[in-house]
Amino acid sequence: MKFLCCLGFAAAVTLLAQTPPPALVAEPQATEEATLTGRVKIKGEIPKRRKITTGADPKCAAMHPGDLLTDDFVIDAAGNIAYAFVYVKAGLGDQKFTAPKTPVVVEQKGCRFEPHTMGIMVGQELMFRNMDDLMHIVHVVPKNNREFGFSQAKRGEERPKVFTAKETIRLFCDVHPWMVAWIHVLDHPLYATTKADGKYTIKGLPPGKYTLEAWHDGYKAVTQEIEVKAKESKTVNFEFTERQEFKP
């Protein structure tokens, strides 16, 4: 201020006007949303993954000098199961959620679909990407959405699709019959697919009471009633006990 006093009044005003204000640090916004974590296991005998015969397509066979196994029962020695789908089945009421602009990607890779189980919102783009140097024909026959099937013959070829209604859809390849995956179309983003260790995480759950379901194409679905409070981190584990083939 002594420096400013030595200046003329007009010059001091000009200098102050040109001096940028100190940067404001944005304080983090408090969130009321809860987080769910947990693990999905099976109880009882662990089913074995089946060996896939790829001899009908020499290119597929060349990509798998060892055994190519099915993805329906990817379970470790402790019973932790991969590709289980955990989601909020009921309790959201009339809450509305905006579909993400980022697409969900399913790849045809090594004559398999990756991932084997996925979730997507109504109106969100599902990007089909071929990572093999051979032709696949992806096909779905939904009940609540429009059927489609198309070929992808080049590596890196992509094609998007969008679903307009909720349902669980079986994805398959008309060329390679063992290629099967599952698409869960929901009207909210509160879901997760378990990893190889059976673990999942669901973030962004508003406080309230909900019905959670753990789904798998080889087991009868299991549900739990839960309540979460604001900012709570809650652990919810599931256990499959009854084998059942899912038929859409």
Q: What is the CATH number of the domain that holds 106?
A: 2.60.40.420
| Same domain assignment for residues 81 and 107 | no
How many of the other CB atoms lie within 10 Å of CB of 238? 25
Write down which residue in 187, 214, 230 finishes a domain.
187
Residue 88's closest CA among 6, 5, 204, 171? 204
Q: Within this chain, do residues 82 and 205 fall inside the same structural domain, yes or no?
A: yes
For residue 43, is it within any domain? yes
How far out from the chain centre does Cα 40 lie? 16
pLDDT of residue 28: 42
Q: Is residue 146 part of a domain?
A: yes
pLDDT of 19 reads: 52
Single residue among 134, 169, 187 that ends a domain in this structure: 187
Task: Count how many domains the chain has.
Answer: 2
Q: Which of 156, 187, 218 marks a domain boundary?
A: 187
Distance CA 92, CA 143 (A): 24
Enclosing domain of residue 220: 30-90+197-248
Say if 14 falls within a structural domain: no
Separation CA 35–CA 122 (nearest Å): 23
Q: Are residues 83 and 122 in the same domain?
A: no
Identify the band that residue 18 occupies on the pLDDT scale cut at 50, 70 and 90.
low
Q: Do both 159 and 183 map to the same domain?
A: yes
- Segment 145-155 shows an average pLDDT of 97
At residue 16, the pLDDT reads 45
* Cis amide linkage into residue 115, ω under 30° from 0: yes
pLDDT at 62 over 90: no
Find where tokens 């198309």 sit.
150
- In angstroms, the CA 139 to CA 78 distance is 35
Residues 111 and 56 in one domain: no
In a domain, 13, yes or no: no
77: its two tokens: 């020695």
Same domain, 110 and 76: no
Same domain membership, residue 60 and residue 180 = no
pLDDT at 248: 72
pLDDT at 8 over 60: no
Q: What is the mean pLDDT of residues 131-138?
A: 95
